[in-house]
Chains A and B, each alone.
Chain A
Amino acid sequence: MSDQPVGQTQERRAFSRRLFMKGVGTSMVSAGALSTGIAAGAMQEAQASQEENVRGPGMVPMTLNINGHNYQVEAEPRETLLEVLRNRLDITGPKLVCDAGSCGACTVWLDGNPVYGCLTLAIKAQGKKITTIEGLAQGDKLHPVQEAFIEADATQCGFCTPGFVMSMSAAYEKNPNASLDEIKESVSGHICRCGTYTQMLEAAELARGKIGG
Chain B
Amino acid sequence: MAKQHTTVVGYEGNTQSIEYAIPENETGLWGANFDYSIVGKKNIPRLDAVEKVTGKAKYSYDINRPNMLHAVVLTCPYAHAHFEVTDTSEAEKMPGVKSIEVFDEGGKGTARFAGWLIAMAAAETIQQARDAARKIKVNYKVLPFVIDPDEAMDDASPRVNRGGNVNPPEARARDRGDVDQGFQEAEVIVEGVYTTQVQTHSCLETHGCVAEWNGDEVTVWHSTQGIWSVAGGIASGLKDLGLQQNNVRVITQYMGGGFGSKFGPEPFGVLCALVAKKVGRPVKMMLDRYTDTVYAGNKPGSKMYVKLGAKKDGKLTAIHVKAYNYPGHSGGSSVAIPFMEHYDCENIRIEEQNVMTNAGASRAFRAPGRPQGSFGIEMALEELAMKLEMDSYELKAKNVSGTTYKAVPYELKLGAEKFGWKEKSKKHGSENGKIKHGVGCAVTFWHSTGQDKGASVRCTLYPDGSVEVANGCQDLGTGQRTMMAIVAAEELGIDVGFIKVSIGDTQLGLNGPASGGSTTTPTTSPVVRNACYQAKLKLYEKIATKWKTEASDIDCKNGTVFSKSHSDKKMSWKDAAAMLRNSAITATADGFTKPDVPGSNTGAYGAQFAEVEVDTETGKVRCTRIVAVQDCGKTIAKKQAESQICGAVIQGVACALYEDRIMDNMAGRQINPNMEEYKIPGIKETPDIETVIVDVYDPVVNTGGKGLGEPPAIPTGGAIGCAVANAIGVPIRDLPITPDKVLAALQRKEG
B675→A100 contact, CB < 8 A: yes
Q: Which residues of A contact B204 (CB under 8 A)?
A: 95, 97, 103, 105, 157, 159-160, 191-193
Residues on the A chain within 8 Å of B651, using CB: 195
- The count of residues in chain A whose C-beta lies closer than 8 Å to any C-beta of chain B is 66
Q: Provide the bound-state CA to CA distance between A158 and B482, in Å.
A: 14
A selection of 12 A-B contacts at a CB cut-off of 8 Å is: A4-B134, A7-B72, A8-B673, A83-B126, A95-B59, A96-B61, A105-B204, A151-B43, A157-B205, A157-B477, A193-B259, A196-B647
A165 in contact with B53 (CB, 8 Å) = yes
B59/A99 in contact, CB under 8 A = no
Interface segment, one of A29-37, A40-48, A129-137, A170-178: A129-137
Residues of A within 8 A of B45 (CB): 150-151, 153
Cα–Cα, bound, A200→B646 (Å): 11
Compute how far the CA of A9 lies from the CA of B287 in the bound complex, rounded to whole angstroms.
12
Judged by a CB distance under 8 angstroms, whether B40 is at the interface is no
Majority DSSP secondary structure for residues of A touching B: loop
Min CB gap A85→B, angstroms: 11
Judge whether A28 is part of the interface by a CB distance below 8 angstroms: no
Closest to B638 in A: A153
**Smallest CB-CB separation from A161: which chain B residue?**
B52
Alpha-carbon separation in the docked complex, A197 to B684 (Å): 9
- Contact (Cβ within 8 A) A199 B256: no
The distance from the CB of B370 to the nearest CB of chain A, in whole angstroms, is 17
* Among A7, A102, A136, A191, contact of B54 (Cβ-Cβ < 8 Å): A136
Residues on the B chain within 8 Å of A60, using CB: none
Q: Quick one: which of A158, A162, A199 contacts B48, CB cutoff 8 A?
A: A158
Please give, as numbers and ranges, the residues of chain B lying within 8 Å of A127 by CB-CB distance.
none
Q: A residues within 8 A CB of B674? A: 98, 100, 102
If A92-B55, A157-B255, A193-B203 touch, whether A198 touches B134 (CB-CB below 8 Å) is no
**Chain A residue nearest to B292 in the complex (CB):** A7
| Cβ of B171 under 8 Å from chain A | no
Whether B683 lies near A187 (C-beta < 8 A) is yes
- B contact residues around A12 at 8 Å (CB): 290
Please give the number of chain B residues whose Cβ is less than 8 angstroms from any Cβ of chain A in the complex. 76
Closest chain A residue, CB of each to CB of B133:
A6
**Cβ contact within 8 Å between A150 and B682:** no
The reply to whether B675 and A191 form a contact with Cβ atoms under 8 Å apart is yes
CB distance from B552 to the nearest CB of A (A): 38
Instruction: Identify the closest chain B residue to A99 (Cβ).
Output: B289
Give Cα A150–Cα B479 distance, bound, in whole angstroms: 13
Q: Are A156 and B205 in contact (CB under 8 A)?
A: no
In the complex formed, the residue of A with least CB distance to B683 is: A197
Is B288 interfacial (CB-CB < 8 Å)?
yes
Q: Type the 1/0 row for B204-220, where 1 means its CB is closer than 8 Å to any CB of A.
A: 11100000000000000
Partner of B686, one of A6, A102, A157, A197: A197
Contact A5 B77 (CB under 8 A): yes
List the interface of chain B (C-beta within 8 A of A): 43, 45-46, 48-59, 61-62, 64, 70, 72-75, 77, 125-127, 130, 133-138, 202-206, 254-257, 259, 286, 288-291, 476-479, 639-640, 642-644, 646-651, 654, 673-676, 680-684, 686, 689
Residues of B within 8 A of A95 (CB): 59, 61-62, 204-205, 256
Q: How far is the CB of A152 from chain B (nearest CB, A)?
A: 9
Chain A residues near B (Cβ < 8 Å): 2-10, 12, 76, 78-79, 83, 86-87, 90, 92-100, 102-103, 105, 132-134, 136-137, 142, 146, 149-151, 153-162, 165, 184, 187-201
CA distance A153 to B46 in the complex (A): 7
* Interchain Cβ contacts within 8 Å, total number: 215
**Closest residue of B by beta carbon distance from A199:** B643
Residues of A within 8 A of B288 (CB): 6-7, 9, 99
CB-CB nearest 9 A-B residue pairs: A93-B55, A157-B477, A195-B650, A159-B256, A158-B52, A2-B134, A195-B647, A92-B62, A133-B55
Q: How far is the CA of A162 from the CA of B54 in the complex (A)?
A: 7
Residues of A within 8 A of B52 (CB): 149, 155, 158, 161
| CB within 8 Å for A100 and B289 given contacts A87-B126, A159-B256, A161-B53 | yes
Q: State the Cβ distance, A46 to closest chain B Cβ, in Å.
A: 21
A76 and B336 alpha carbons, distance in the complex (Å): 54
Q: Which of B59, B62, B649 lies in contact with A195, CB distance below 8 A? A: B649
> CB-nearest residue of chain B relative to A191?
B680
- When distances are taken between beta carbons in the complex, the residues of chain A under 8 Å from B77 are 4-5, 10
CA of A96 to CA of B287, assembled, Å: 11
Kindly list chain A residues whose C-beta atoms are within 8 Å of the C-beta of B126: 83, 87
Tell me the minimal C-beta distance from A194 to chain B in angstroms.
5
Is A142 a contact partner of B53 (Cβ separation < 8 A)? yes
Given A153-B643, A195-B647, A198-B646, A6-B55 contact (CB < 8 Å): no
Q: How far is the CA of A90 from the CA of B125 in the complex (A)?
A: 14
Sample of 14 more A-B contacts, CB < 8 Å, known A7-B73, A92-B58:
A6-B73, A9-B290, A76-B125, A92-B61, A95-B204, A100-B676, A105-B204, A133-B54, A150-B53, A153-B640, A156-B479, A157-B476, A188-B682, A191-B204
Q: A79-B127, A102-B676 are in contact. Are A149 and B53 (CB under 8 A)?
A: yes
**Chain B residue with minimal CB distance to A156?**
B477
CB distance B257 to A157 under 8 Å? yes
B256 contacts A102, CB within 8 Å? no
C-alpha spacing A156/B135, complex, angstroms: 40
With a cutoff of 8 Å between Cβ atoms, the chain B residues found around residue A161 in the complex are 52-53
Residues in A with CB closer than 8 Å to B640 are 153
Assembly CA distance A146 to B51 (angstroms): 10
B271 to chain A, nearest CB (A): 16
Closest A residue, CB atoms, query B690: A198
Expressed in whole angstroms, the Cα–Cα distance for A78 and B259 within the complex equals 34
